[in-house]
Structure 1
């Protein structure tokens, strides 16, 4: 657990979140308070990529379930292997914030050579390519799903680094080392402790077969995202476009989305396929409040993550 002063400093990073105002730790109640407590206990800090979801308590809880039960909870795979998957996905999605966070975590776990290779863009063996049990494969696939999700959310709401902008360049290396130590696994991160935060869901994920905790976490998260107030028209636009998407970036131009008239659907589609193209004008045009914006971005990121994992599974099977 981080010392009190460091914890307070990390909480203040929430002030740098764009477009929405997260619930301050001291004002959290109900489900938000329960998630915050678990997050600081098991992840070591009030991580902004999770806490920024707090304007929508069910989406906050869903995000924490996915992160905790994939990356944080003890299981058949090591935390280092899971961090490698998180780093690889984040690098593929060009999310510098997450690449930096999980590079720090790898350094603290004694995997600096892997972290250096990832930072340099070098080839790293795919941890999913080896002979794994069904439960272990589900754990690593869950990490990949979670970071396809988080990379999109982070790109929209956070800057390029997990360190506060006030940290001078001369102090950043030391700050990274300190933060990396807080990301080490905790001793009592038993699987499944987050599941009671949300009611059970009914959706089955085939890749999670053989790992009931992971399956339960993602089924609950899916139910939470499925219940948010996204209009049928917006859902149809995004799901129809994803059904034929090969997972490749559409590039720098946003002309591919110009034909979408509804500004909310346009924002959701850009989040799903090209979150780096989200800008102030696109967000302002959607005209959403904090909770509605979190739920739209969260839902679009979740369905895009599910599609990316499906594409990967299909390619491996082929």
Structure 2
């Protein structure tokens, strides 16, 4: 396959089997976007695909919190991470909820008129600030935000910035029409937990998930993503973890030269660290320096996911620390 895929060649979705085919089927029904490239790019690693889909479904799509509010948070996260693909996707999905003016204000980089939406957008950009939602809604909002901190990094690393062919998403009419085509699906009420049967890994559920299906989904994604550390030596994996731990978990600051391993000397550590802290800076040369036999698409997806989950966990730590401080 070509088009939006920068470095991988996923199998055509129509040829999928097993859990990959099952995820695609649920994705089409519950998300409304058949063969969404955000997930197709993960298909070489089925446990990652299933975990990523489950976290997004159980936090953003299912549950009782406002879908519009969660889309605003996801847009804020995507703006903070400089992921234009995902920002556009969430403006389209806001059109699908019927919030057309809100969608276009965010698309133009403006503040929402509604004060609650302004607070949610600001929190999505900086999760260390006080939470503008109730404790009962927290698992869905936190799960949505962390899901897109992970997805943004996958997208920025492995996909082009264009959501639609030819960059058609830059036109307001196209965004609106695309959103309206998804309106019926977006407004459906989903049964929580139906994605959990697709999971192929298990991990501890975080306390913030409060015994919701989001916790099992997040634990599975975390376990699958950490498998990527096995592609690095112990020293390189430790370097990635230490660099991410030294980051404040908030500011999207670029890496300084001395913090980034040399491409020729430690290409795997460099690639994973860029995926964690500055995925939009990954170049063809960075990938080519590492992606050679015996490494495959499966390996590349896992390595990027390892960097992404390290960043997500750092953000999660910051969130927990600030929550305890405000308690």
Please tell me the TM-score bracket, short chain as reference.
0.7 to 0.9
What is the Cα deviation at residue 182 of structure 1? 4.1
> 2: distance between equivalents of 1:257 and 1:155?
18
Equivalent in the alignment of 2:300: 293
1:49 and 2:44 are equivalent in the alignment: no
Higher mean displacement: 85-94 or 101-110: 101-110
2:91–2:103 CA contact under 8 A, matched in 1: yes
Equivalent in the alignment of 2:161: 160
1:252–1:277 CA contact under 8 A, matched in 2: no
1:256 and 2:259 are equivalent in the alignment: yes
Residues 159, 131 of structure 1: alpha-carbon distance in 2 compared, 3 angstrom cutoff: closer
What is the Cα deviation at residue 16 of structure 1? 2.3
1:86 and 2:85 are equivalent in the alignment: no
Higher mean displacement: 276-285 or 297-306: 297-306
> 2: distance between equivalents of 1:234 and 1:182?
46
Higher mean displacement: 225-234 or 271-280: 225-234
Q: Give structure 2 stretches of 5+ with no counterpart.
A: 112-117, 124-130
Equivalent in the alignment of 2:213: 213
Secondary structure of 1:31 counterpart: helix
Equivalent in the alignment of 1:195: 196
Equivalent in the alignment of 2:126: none
Alignment TM-score, normalising by the size of structure 2: 0.84
What is the Cα deviation at residue 181 of structure 1? 2.6
1:114 and 2:115 are equivalent in the alignment: no
The runs of 4+ residues in structure 1 deviating greater than 6 Å are none
Equivalent in the alignment of 2:3: 15
Size of the aligned set, in residue pairs, is 301
Instruction: State how 1:55-74 maps to structure 2 within 5 Å.
Output: 55-73=44-62
Higher mean displacement: 115-124 or 153-162: 115-124
What is the Cα deviation at residue 252 of structure 1? 7.4
1:15–1:21 CA contact under 8 A, matched in 2: no
Equivalent in the alignment of 2:248: 246
Quote the RMSD (CA, aligned, Å).
2.4
Per-residue CA deviation, residues 168-208 of structure 1 (Å, 9 max, x unaligned), is 97xx4443223213444252521111101114624231221
What is the Cα deviation at residue 69 of structure 1? 1.0
Secondary structure of 1:132 counterpart: coil
Secondary structure of 2:300 counterpart: helix
Per-residue CA deviation, residues 240-298 of structure 1 (Å, 9 max, x unaligned), is 11111113233376553046832101110011011111000000011232110011111
Residues 110, 20 of structure 1: alpha-carbon distance in 2 compared, 3 angstrom cutoff: same
Equivalent in the alignment of 1:274: 278
Residues 182, 286 of structure 1: alpha-carbon distance in 2 compared, 3 angstrom cutoff: farther
Alignment TM-score, normalising by the size of structure 1: 0.86
1:200–1:216 CA contact under 8 A, matched in 2: no
> 1: distance between equivalents of 2:81 and 2:227?
27
> 2: distance between equivalents of 1:199 and 1:276?
29
Per-residue CA deviation, residues 3-46 of structure 1 (Å, 9 max, x unaligned), is xxxxxxxxx8x632110011212110111111111111111112
> 1: distance between equivalents of 2:139 and 2:269?
32
Q: Give structure 1 stretches of 5+ with no counterpart.
A: 1-11
Residues 179, 307 of structure 1: alpha-carbon distance in 2 compared, 3 angstrom cutoff: same
Residues 114, 219 of structure 1: alpha-carbon distance in 2 compared, 3 angstrom cutoff: same
Equivalent in the alignment of 1:5: none
Per-residue CA deviation, residues 130-166 of structure 1 (Å, 9 max, x unaligned), is 35133x1011000000111111111112222211127
1:32 and 2:20 are equivalent in the alignment: yes
What is the Cα deviation at residue 88 of structure 1? 0.7
Secondary structure of 2:319 counterpart: helix
> 2: distance between equivalents of 1:253 and 1:240?
15
Residues 19, 198 of structure 1: alpha-carbon distance in 2 compared, 3 angstrom cutoff: same
- Of 94, 107, 126, which residue of structure 1 is paired with 2:120? 126
